[in-house]
Amino acid sequence: MNEKIYDVFTCVKIASLIFLPIALLGAVVGVILGISKSALSVGDILSWIFYIGVWISSFGLFIAAVAFVKPKHMRDLNHQKEWRKHFYKMNLVGVIFTVCFVQYIYLAIIDVLRYYMFTV
C-alpha cells in the first residue's frame, strides 16, 4: 500500500511541474489578448489558463484511454528497470492518467476561483 501511495505522490509532483508551464502559457496568452482588446483582467487570464489546461489534459486523457482500450499497442518500456526505480506499481498509462487527473483537479480549483471572483 505504501508503494501505491508513493506512486500517487510522485504523480502529483510531476503534475505540478507540468502544470506550471501550462499556467504560464495560459497567462501569457491571456495577457496578450487582454492588451490587444484593451481590457486586461484577471478573469480573462484565469480563463485562458483554464482553457489551455483543459485542452492539454484532455489530450493526455485521450492517450490514456486509447492505451486502456488497446493494450496490445502498449508494450513494456525500453527502460523498464529504470522506470521501476521511480514507480513501484504504476505503469506508463497509469502515470499519464493520474497526472492528467491531478491537473483536472487544479483546473477545477481555477474554475471555482473564476466563478466566485467574477460572478458572485
The ranges assigned to domains in the chain are 2-118
Question: Which pLDDT band holds residue 78 (cuts at 50, 70, 90)?
Answer: low
Q: What is the mean pLDDT of residues 25-42?
A: 91
Report residue 17 as a C-alpha cell: 511541474
Q: Give the Å distances, CA to CA, from 57 to 77, 78, 113, 116.
A: 22, 25, 19, 23
The per-residue pLDDT for 54 is 95
Give the mean model confidence (pLDDT) for residues 9-37: 93
* Average pLDDT taken over every residue of the chain: 87
Buried b (16+ CB within 10 A) or exposed e, 75-85: eeeeeeeeeee
